[in-house]
Copies of this chain bind each other. A is one copy, B any other.
């Protein structure tokens, strides 16, 4: 017997589907911060009852992507400049350490894949494509560190700020600079220089954070 067997036990529940869809929409900035998420409305969109929607919202809140007030509903979480700054600082610490652990373990195959992703980033024309290629580039390298817990936290912290990051890439020459920085990070990885890769990654993240904060300050300053 030869079949493409799939593990039925891990098929997605309605809750999973709603959760992933909302998560994606928030990360990609399709849902504006502060936007109200009505259970009924979402349930109708997905052709389910409110139960899976509520369970998905619980999960999103645990991840910090939405905030809920009892009887008043759930809104897409908004981050202050200070909070964003802290998360970038956190990412710089964590991701630099993980790439330091990854470099000695990187295979030829992983390095080649990273170059492909790096080029995809440069070639991508819309923020969605940039974001995806950016994640693939970094995570592809990080995987060599063989630290699933670290990776999970990294993913979660990027989730929180990804929509702002995309805005930054759109509004400035941030994309070009990011590409240059990617090149030098990959170069350090190729040379097996873990400390240099770590230090470049740290600077890469802090750079993006600073640039983003400058934009936010300007925008929020205007809107007052």
Contact = CB atoms under 8 A, between A and B. Distances in A.
Given A58-B59, A93-B93, A70 B149 contact: no
Interface in A114-151: 147-150
Interface stretch (A82-90, A105-113, A163-171): A82-90
Interface stretch (A7-15, A25-33, A177-185, A210-218): A7-15
Interface residues of A, number: 31
A90 B54 CA distance: 32
Contacts of A86: 147-150
Given A70-B10, A87-B149, A147-B86, A15 B51 contact: no
Contacts of A66: none
Nearest to A68: B13
Contacts of A93: 93-94, 97
A72 interface: yes
A149 B87 CA distance: 7
Closest 10 CB pairs of A and B: A62-B62, A59-B62, A58-B58, A55-B58, A86-B149, A58-B59, A9-B69, A93-B97, A86-B147, A87-B149
